Amino acid sequence: PDRDAVARWREDFPILSERVHGKPLVYLDNGATTQKPATVIEAERRYYEHTNSNVHRGVHLLSQRATETYEAARARIARFINAARPEEIVYVRGTTEAINLVAQSDVRPRVAPGDEILISAMEHHSNIVPWQIVCEQTGARLVVVPIDDRGVLDIAAYERMIGERTRIVALTHVSNALGTINPVARLIEIAHARGVPVLLDGAQAIAHLPVDVRALDCDFYAFSGHKVYGPTGIGVLYAKADRLEAMPPWQGGGDMIRSVTFERTTYNAIPWKFEAGTPNIAGAIALAAALDYVDAIGVDVIGAHEAALLAYATDAMRALPRVRLIGTADHKAGIVSFVHEDVHAHDVGTILDHHGVAARAGHHCAMPVMQRFGVPATVRASFALYNKREDIDALVAAMTEVEEVFGR
């Protein structure tokens, strides 16, 4: 995309005209959450102004309209990731809830003491802790595939570590702390050759690269609406229909049942048997609007734009004294994680903030990644479609002040 295209996209995001500490906002914390285009904000507003009603309940017109729009959003999401059917899309709160649902409903009932759950050393806590809970509940073992000094998964080790007792492989598609893009198609092929199902954590992939769950042949794919220009509180678990059919419900309540007596309750069909209680209706509808927005530009176009920003930012950061990049894989999404050898990440983050630069400083919910690289925290700049080269220039200018204030 040319500069004019990026400038036009920026106009779609009202928050980008905010000022912070008297400076124009430079938003480089997209890994944490993305900003929302006016169409998404408008979709929520339109829903509450014209449609608001509970779904799957009423015979009245608004309820029917709400149900239709909510279910149309499900079909929209299915199309975005090329799922075979809308029923393969389970609405959840976000990636975290999606992974917990798979852990408790699919995996927990079929693991025994000594069985293994395979993850990698670059996972977010939300793809670690739900499995540790299952391990505690069942006596299963968590097995962790190592990564190298660039932040690349050790595929030879992966092949070795998938064994007789592996019951699930759960891997991130893109690392939030390092930016690494995993070769997921190949990793799935390897697991499937041994009969092991695969869950992909797509939180950091969904807004940045095309995702085709059928081409990947993944068994589960989890993502959060808020990381793909949609609202918080809505997310997606994709699962193959036959897996969903076989999974027991995890939460009970209204909407997930077919009939209830005190003696016996029968459950609703998929995906509704996993959606107990009144859902985030407005969120689902606005998420569909976000996917419309992304598709109108093209996720491949967005990815190419972010790749150019990544190359520019990587060169710029490498030129700074005492700055070290963490995560230097060849295949990376638009994430630059770094440390200053003399200054704690939080101090760097504070100076950046005073320059209007919003970046993340911390462990990024990936403490084992920090331990792997021997750092307490990193500063992370993560890109989205509305970022421009000047944003990176602002980051670099602020880093120059970090050096002046704290450098030795």
Residues labelled as active-site residues: 365
Contacts of 292-298 with CB under 8 Å at 24 or more apart are: 292/39, 292/76, 293/12, 293/37, 293/39, 293/40, 293/229, 294/80, 294/207, 294/228, 294/229, 295/80, 297/9, 297/385
Cis before 271? omega within 30: yes
**Closer to ligand PMP by Cβ: residue 134 or 398:** 134
124 near ligand PMP, judged by CB under 6 A: yes
Q: Which of 328, 301, 300, 299 is nearest to 313 (CA)?
A: 328
Q: How far is the CB of 144 from ligand PMP (least distance, A)?
A: 16
Span from 21-29, 124-132, 249-257, 307-315 in contact with ligand PMP (CB under 6 A): 124-132
**Closer to ligand PMP by Cβ: residue 228 or 395:** 228
**Number of chain residues interacting with ligand PMP (CB under 6 A):** 13
Q: Which of 30, 172, 337, 387 binds ligand PMP (CB under 6 A)?
A: 172
Q: Considering only residues 357 through 386, tell me which ones interact with ligand PMP, judged by CB under 6 A.
A: 365
Tokens of 129: 């802790």
Please work out, in degrees rounded to the nearest 5, the angle formed at the alpha carbon of residue 339 by the alpha carbons of 383 and 403: 100
Q: How far is the CB of 337 from ligand PMP (least distance, A)?
A: 12
Q: How far is the CB of 44 from ligand PMP (least distance, A)?
A: 18
| CA 308 – CA 174 distance, rounded (Å) | 17
Q: How many CB atoms lie within 10 A of CB 312?
A: 15
Q: Which of 35, 96, 104, 166 binds ligand PMP (CB under 6 A)?
A: 96
| Length of the chain as a residue count | 408
Q: How far is the CB of 386 from ligand PMP (least distance, A)?
A: 19
Q: Which of 118, 162, 184, 203 binds ligand PMP (CB under 6 A)?
A: 203
337 near ligand PMP, judged by CB under 6 A: no
**Closer to ligand PMP by Cβ: residue 38 or 365:** 365
* CB 236, CB 257: distance < 8 Å: no
**Burial of residue 125 (number of CB atoms within 10 Å: 0-12, 13-18, 19+):** middle
Q: How far is the CB of 71 from ligand PMP (least distance, A)?
A: 23
Tokens of 320: 């700074």
Span from 8-16, 72-80, 92-100, 182-190 in contact with ligand PMP (CB under 6 A): 92-100
Q: How far is the CB of 323 from ligand PMP (least distance, A)?
A: 23
| CA 210 – CA 3 distance, rounded (Å) | 23
| CA 52 – CA 67 distance, rounded (Å) | 10
104 near ligand PMP, judged by CB under 6 A: no
| CA 18 – CA 182 distance, rounded (Å) | 35
Q: Which of 51, 55, 76, 94 binds ligand PMP (CB under 6 A)?
A: 94
**Closer to ligand PMP by Cβ: residue 117 or 399:** 117
Helix axes 389-406, 345-354, angle to 10 degrees: 120
Q: Which of 12, 201, 275, 391 binds ligand PMP (CB under 6 A)?
A: 201
Q: Considering only residues 216 through 255, tell me which ones interact with ligand PMP, judged by CB under 6 A.
A: 224
Span from 147-155, 185-193, 201-209, 293-301 in contact with ligand PMP (CB under 6 A): 201-209
Q: How far is the CB of 16 from ligand PMP (least distance, A)?
A: 21
Q: Which residues pair with 265 in a beta bridge?
A: 260
Residue 363 has what DSSP assignment? -
Q: Which of 51, 100, 120, 204 binds ligand PMP (CB under 6 A)?
A: 204
Q: Which of 95, 104, 180, 328 binds ligand PMP (CB under 6 A)?
A: 95
| CA 286 – CA 305 distance, rounded (Å) | 24
**Burial of residue 385 (number of CB atoms within 10 Å: 0-12, 13-18, 19+):** buried
**Closer to ligand PMP by Cβ: residue 133 or 365:** 365
Query: Which residues contact ligand PMP by CB under 6 A?
Result: 94-96, 124, 126-127, 172, 176, 201, 203-204, 224, 365
